[in-house]
Amino acid sequence: MDILSTRGLDLWYGDNQALKHIDMDIPERQVTALIGPSGCGKSTFLKTLNRMNDLVPAVRVEGLVTYRERDIYAPGTDVTWLRRQVGMVFQKPNPFPMSIYDNIAYGPRIHGVRSKARLDDIVERSLKGAAIWDEVKDRLKKSALSLSGGQQQRLCIARALAVEPDVLLMDEATSALDPISTSKIEDLITELKEHYTIIIVTHNMQQATRISDTCAFFLLGELIEFGQTTQMFSMPRDKRTEDYITGRFG
């Protein structure tokens, strides 16, 4: 079952075409990795999936993007609804300058949760879901900025989980972290795919092979190859994919 699909997706930043005719079907409850050299369009592609590109001035999108068979660029689409379904974790941990508790409760409060008991429950569940509960349960009222980088990133994952999304987008979510924090988050991603569809952008080829089921290779705005990760890394169909994953460029 495919949860997100694109057909003939083109994207321009001004006159610069960043995505060229992308057709992709992303399977549900799997980890899909987007790989490719810097500037290949993988992050741009990721952000079209929850319309975070809307924030960029002079961006133009053509083609079809569907989430559960709904055209998310159709006029009248509720972007707030979309972003609740398709959550995002950013490259650099970006906790809000408030307490750990308020960080997690931020999303649920947006969506109308007021009851203290329910918020308490959501905060605990989300922090457990992001494997950080034991480290922070005694200091929920402390500022989130007092946490280490790796903890902050898991906090951001917990914050994204708190609104109960369907899909989680991760834009190089471990590239700013140390190896131990990275491996914790990789373990977490593997667990999360039981309940969520996860799409990660990564520069780290080993990471893609470790955690992803499906893999997409982008080059200069084009989708070069898309398929099973094991197959792509053992027997790439395209010469350019082979060159990239064997480290010949990029």
Interface residues toward other proteins, by CB under 8 A? 50, 52, 55, 57, 80-84, 87-88, 90, 92, 94-97, 106-107, 110-111, 156, 159-160, 163
Shortest distance in whole angstroms from residue 72 CB to other proteins = 13
Report the nearest approach of other proteins to the CB of residue 213 (Å): 24
Query: What is the rounded end-to-end Cα distance, in angstroms, of the chain?
Result: 33
Least gap, CB of 232 to other proteins (angstroms): 29
Query: Cβ 223 to other proteins, closest distance in Å?
Result: 24
Within the chain, residue ranges assigned H as helices are 42-48, 79-85, 100-110, 116-129, 133-136, 149-161, 179-192, 205-211, 229-234, 239-245
- Say how far apart CA 145 and CA 73 lie, in whole Å: 35
Smallest distance, other proteins to C-beta of residue 126, A: 12
Measured distance CA(55)–CA(50) in Å, rounded: 11
For residue 240, give every residue at least 6 positions away whose Cβ sits within 8 Å of its Cβ, in sequence order, or none: 217, 219, 224
The residue among 22 and 157 lying less far from other proteins, judged by its C-beta, is 157
Q: Which amino acid is at 182?
A: T
> Nearer Cβ to other proteins, position 88 or 147?
88
Distances from the Cα of 3 to the Cα of 30, 85, 86, 163, angstroms: 10, 11, 11, 18
